[in-house]
Amino acid sequence: MKGKRMKLLLNLVRKDFKKNKVITTVLTVFLIISTLFMAGGLRIAGTMISSMNGLNETAVITDYLQMHKGTYDEDAFNHFADSHDYIEASLIVEMLNIRNANISYQGETLEKYLMDNGFVVQNDEFDFLLDMDNEIAVVGEGEIGVPVYYAQELGVKAGDVFTIHEGDYSKELTVKTIIRDSSMNPALTSSKRFLINQEDLDDISQHTGEWEYLFEFLLAEGASTSVLEKDYMDAGLPSNGVALTGSALTLLNTFSYGIVAFIIIAISIILILIAVLCLSYIIRATMAEENYTIGEMKSIGFPQKAIKQLYQMKYLMLILIAAVIGYLLAIPFGDFFSSSIVLYCGYGNSEWMKWVFPFIGVVLLSLIVIRRCRRIIHKNLKSTVLELMRGEEKIKKEGHYSLPTKGLKYHNLTIALGELKCKWKEYVVIFFIFAVSSFLILLPMNMKNTIENPSFMTYMGVGESDIRIDIQYSEKLVEQKEAALAHLENDPQISKYAIYQNGYVQIQNAEGELDYLRVENGDQSVFPLEYLEGSAPVDSQDIALSYLVASESGKKVGDSLTVTYQKEELTFRISGIYQDVTYGGKTSKASIDFAEDDVEVYIIYVDVSDDVTVEKKTDELRSVLSDSKITPVQDFISQTLGGLMDNMGLVERAAILISFLLITLITVMFLQLITAREHSAIAIKKAIGFTNRDIRIQLGIRILIIQFAAIIV
């Protein structure tokens, strides 16, 4: 008996598919695209997690890294590491920084690239540089391992030659491998490490380059990097450079690779919402048309459970078909958008994630849609047999409108507006579908425009300017600063500039212990940031905190903060909180006049006159201020976020294409349902003299009004 009923149900479903080909096709396309984006986004996320975890585990990523330029006491460092139980391992990496103008590839220098390039040998204990098989890279004499960033930007491959030169000195190094670096991998990190042999490093260092040292630590499980940082600073160990934690490095990687996955998943959620709204509308419209048939089924004793099964089976089959097709299409889709993750990090050691995550997402999506279908069908089957066969529900909900007594001056417009007015409830769902489809176009477009906008850097802790000059970690810091200011002051092509000094103070953390806080002192109104809350400091009593500092200290705008500098306590009012990705995200801004010996970095932001090109002025400043780092801000954004913006552009174009496709399909489906439901009204219109063209215009006006309102919303 059950087998016969199932056969009957399948036969009815098959006939229904044939009868409603357009609606069925449109709904299936909706569900497939929703599943594709959900599974594709989760596949990218799974690949990213697996790749990053695999890279960090194999390379043994450092927990804390302090960069330093200048002399240091190795015995003091070793004593510090040995005397703290929470430190499991430590190392000192000697890195030879070479100016980009002294590194050549295929006849051109790397001067147009804004990365700081350091040459190192392979580490012994942790923070290993890996080859493209994610094995510890090994290079011999005369060979070099090139960062994957340059492999992507320049097309570097094994066997190519890099040349290091300074004056009459020249040394050629053959590319042995492309390397992955857990500490300096993504484009967002402005330093890159080349791997060479110890003999080559000794030779090159005698002719060119400047030494920089990386003091690195591995901590015991559960140990805090904040505790290490405080103890390190208290011990007076080398700190003439940027400090980074392993979590900050992971965050940079996640931002670099994860934002595309986030946008694709966000698009999929919007598509799911559209699909569910479409389902609601289609099920209600279809069942309203079949009220009489459902009433007949009930009247002859057809069980309500069987009627439910009939309608549920149709949508269950559609959902299963869409789930399978969407999951299969998500494999090449996800692999395409995660190709840069694999290039930079490898496949990782948990490849199951890129298969299981999408599967779970598809299953959850299917369950959500099935549950929604069941609720709508159950609600529509509550009517009595008499109501269903008379069609009272339909008549009650449709409403009526009266024609104007003075006649119809604009007959098509008047009829269309009248029908919209009396049947507005029918169009609410379609209105929301069009609104969400429009938002689907705007979401990736606006995110891409935001990242490309020059002011985007102001949300990342960097003032919006044409050129940035960094005078950092040098024994001649004051002389370099004075030389830079003297040149800028007398340069008529500079429209404005401002200098900021960076130093350290101490603050009390949530546990009552003293932590070190980086403070930037300078006129914040010249090159302002965008603030999450509050505003920039306006006088000597104000201080602004980065989001991470405010979160960790539990401070908010209006609170007071006491800092200690040179054993003197200074109390400030917190004027604002801003976002920052520089210096590990832990910075502040206040008017603290640091002694010259306590200043670690001078940063100068520069705007050039309108008739001057930034590139020309950058080249000029580099020739005059050769000891300073000169960075054109727009080039810096394009180089650090270029790959991200390329992927965002692809997502944007895909979203626009899909949105227009969906809007077209929705319109076709909507018109199909309207003409089916209003066949009697259309017949009456024809009988009183309206032509087919008039009826098409009336329908078109309705659609356009709904679409226009939805786009505005």
pLDDT at 574 over 70: yes
Average pLDDT over residues 588-614: 88
Question: What residues have CB less than 8 Å from 27, skipping those under 6 apart?
Answer: 275, 278, 279, 282, 318, 669
* Residue 276 placed within a domain: yes
pLDDT (0 to 100) of residue 92: 92
571 and 435 share one domain: no
* 8 A C-beta contact, residue 141 and residue 199: yes
Q: Looking at residue 435, what is its pLDDT?
A: 84
Residue-level pLDDT at 512: 66
Q: Would you list the DSSP string of 108-125?
A: EESTTS--EEEEE---SS
424 plus 534 within the same structural domain: no
Q: Is the pTM of this model over 0.85?
A: no
pLDDT at position 88 is 93
What local confidence, expressed as pLDDT, does residue 627 receive? 78
In percent, the amount of the chain with pLDDT more than 90 equals 25
Return phi, psi of residue 598, to 5°: -95, -5
What's the structural domain count of the chain? 3
Domain limits for position 606: 475-626
In a domain, 259, yes or no: no
Higher pLDDT, 135 or 388: 135
Confidence (pLDDT) at 650: 78
- Specify if 46 maps to a domain: no
Q: Which residues fall within 8 angstroms of residue 539, CB to CB, at 6 or more apart?
A: 591
Q: Are residues 268 and 357 in the same domain?
A: yes
pLDDT at 403 over 60: no
Q: Which two tokens stand for residue 175?
A: 């590319």
- Which H or E run contains 591? none
Is the pLDDT at 391 greater than 70? The verdict is: no
* Residue 692 neighbours by CB under 8 Å, 6+ apart: 686
Asked if residue 445 is part of any domain, the answer here is yes
* Range among 139-143, 249-253, 462-466 with highest mean pLDDT value: 139-143
Residue 686 has pLDDT above 90, yes or no: no
Of 86-100, 252-266, 478-492, least confident by mean pLDDT is 252-266
Question: What mean pLDDT comes out for the span 216-235?
Answer: 88
Summarised one tens digit per residue, pLDDT across range 496-514 is 999 999 888 888 766 666 7
Assess whether 270 and 211 both reside in one domain: no
Give the DSSP letter of residue 136. Answer: B
Query: Are 412 and 275 found together in one domain?
Result: yes
Q: Residue 64 domain-assigned?
A: no
348 and 416, same domain (yes or no):
yes
pLDDT level of residue 642 (50, 70, 90 thresholds): low
Tell me: do 482 and 603 sit in the same domain.
yes
Q: Is the pLDDT of residue 676 over 90?
A: no
- In whole numbers, what is the pLDDT of the chain averaged over residues? 83
What average pLDDT does range 343-360 have in this prediction? Answer: 89
Regarding whether 284 and 417 lie in a shared domain, the answer is yes
Q: Which of 157-171, 177-191, 428-442, 546-560 has the lowest mean pLDDT?
A: 428-442
Residue 618's pLDDT band, with cuts at 50, 70 and 90, is: confident
**Residue 329 pLDDT > 90, yes or no?**
yes
pLDDT given for residue 401 in this prediction: 58
For 24-53, how does the pLDDT look when each residue is reduced to its tens digit (9 = 90+)? 787 788 788 888 888 988 998 899 889 989
- Considering the domain architecture, whether residues 86 and 223 belong to the same structural domain is answered as yes
Amino acid symbol at 626: S
Read off the tokens for 272: 């799911």
Together in a domain, 214 and 287 = no
Helix (H/G/I), strand (E/B), else coil: 475: coil
What's the rounded mean pLDDT across residues 223-251?
A: 83
Cα separation, 38 vs 359, in Å, equals 10
